[in-house]
Amino acid sequence: MEGLGDVEVGGAPVGWADRAVAGLADRLEEPVYYTNFAIRGRLLHPIATEQLDAALALDPAPDLIVFNGGGNDMLRPTFSVDRMMRLTELAIDRCREAGVRLVFVTGARPTPRLPLARVMTVRGDAYMAAALAVTQRTGNQIISNWGDADIADARYWSEDRLHLGPRGHARVAARVLTELGYPTPLPEPGEPAPRPTMRSQAHYVRVHVMPFIGRRIASRSSGRGRLPKYATWHLMEGSTHAR
C-alpha cells in the first residue's frame, strides 16, 4: 500500500490506498483522516503484529482497517499458506475484539512478464483460495484483486514488473471504492506496451533483477530503515489522487 511504481512529481509514491482515500473524500465531500503503516518489503508477520498493533492503538480508534499483505512472502522459499492463514485469522480476531471492521484486500495477479510469475501465480492461487475460505467463515469482506484477470496486462505494471504502475494502482483504487459501496469506473489500460527487445530485457535484468537477487543473498529488505508512510492520522483531501 506504500505505492511503489506509482510516483508523483517529486518522487513520492502515491499508490492505490492514497487514491482510494482521496476518492472516498470526493464521494463524501469532506476530508478523510487515515493512516498508512506500509513499509516496502514487509512480510505478513510484522504486518499482522507490529503494524496492526500500531493501527489498533490509534486515538481515536479507526472505523475501518484495510488488511493487505503476502506478496513479499510469496517471493520467499519459506512461503506457507498455513502460516499466512494463521496470521490473517489473528488479525481478524484482534480487530473483532477491538470492535474495528477489517476488510481484506488482496494483491493483484502478476504480469506474465515477471520472471517469477509462474511461482507467484501457483502460490497466490492457494493463498487466495484459503483467504476466501477464512473470510467467508468469519464474515469479513474480501476485495479480490487477484481475481481481476485483466490487471495482468503489462500496461498496468511498472517497469520492475513486480509493482503496479499508475494505471494499475488507479484500477485497484477504483475496485476498492466500488466494493466499499462507492461505484467508480475502471481506468483504461492505455496504449499497448512496447514489445520487449534483447536490449530492454538486458536493461531489466541489470536494473531490477540483479539488485533483487543481491538483497535476497544478503537477507536485506528494501524497506530496511524506512518508516511507515503515515504513522499518525493524516488528513487526505479529495481529487488530488482520486483518479
pLDDT tens figures, 6-38:
987 577 889 999 999 999 999 999 889 999 999
Q: Is residue 6 in a domain?
A: no
Residues near 140 by beta carbon (within 8 Å), at least 6 away in sequence: 92, 102, 103, 104, 134
CB count, 10 Å around CB of 104? 22
The range of the structural domain enclosing residue 76 comes to: 15-195+227-236
- For residue 133, being part of any structural domain is answered with yes
Asked, for residue 210, whether it belongs to a domain, the answer is no
Phi and psi at 45, nearest 5°, equal: -60, -55
The answer to whether residue 131 is domain-embedded is yes
Confidence of residue 240 (pLDDT cuts 50, 70, 90): low
- pLDDT tens profile 170-190: 999 999 999 999 999 999 888
- CATH number at 118 reads 3.40.50.1110
What does the pLDDT look like over 68-79, one tens digit per residue? 999 999 999 899
- Least-confidence region, from 54-68, 158-172, 207-221: 207-221
Q: Give me the long-range contacts of 155-158 (CB less than 8 A, separation at least 24).
A: 155/189, 155/190, 155/191, 155/192, 155/193, 156/108, 156/111, 156/189, 157/5, 157/110, 157/111, 157/113, 158/4, 158/5, 158/6
Q: What pLDDT was estimated at residue 56? A: 97
How many folded domains does the chain comprise?
A: 1
The 8-class DSSP code of residue 115 comes to T
C-alpha of 63 from chain center? 20
Query: Is 242 domain-assigned?
Result: no
Grid look-up 537477507 returns 219
Q: Does 2 fall in a domain?
A: no
Could you tell me which residues come within 8 angstroms of residue 215 by beta carbon, excluding any fewer than 6 positions away?
A: 221, 222
Give a yes or no: residue 243 inside a domain.
no
Establish if 218 belongs to a structural domain.
Answer: no
Strand 101-105 relative to strand 141-143: parallel, antiparallel, unpaired? parallel
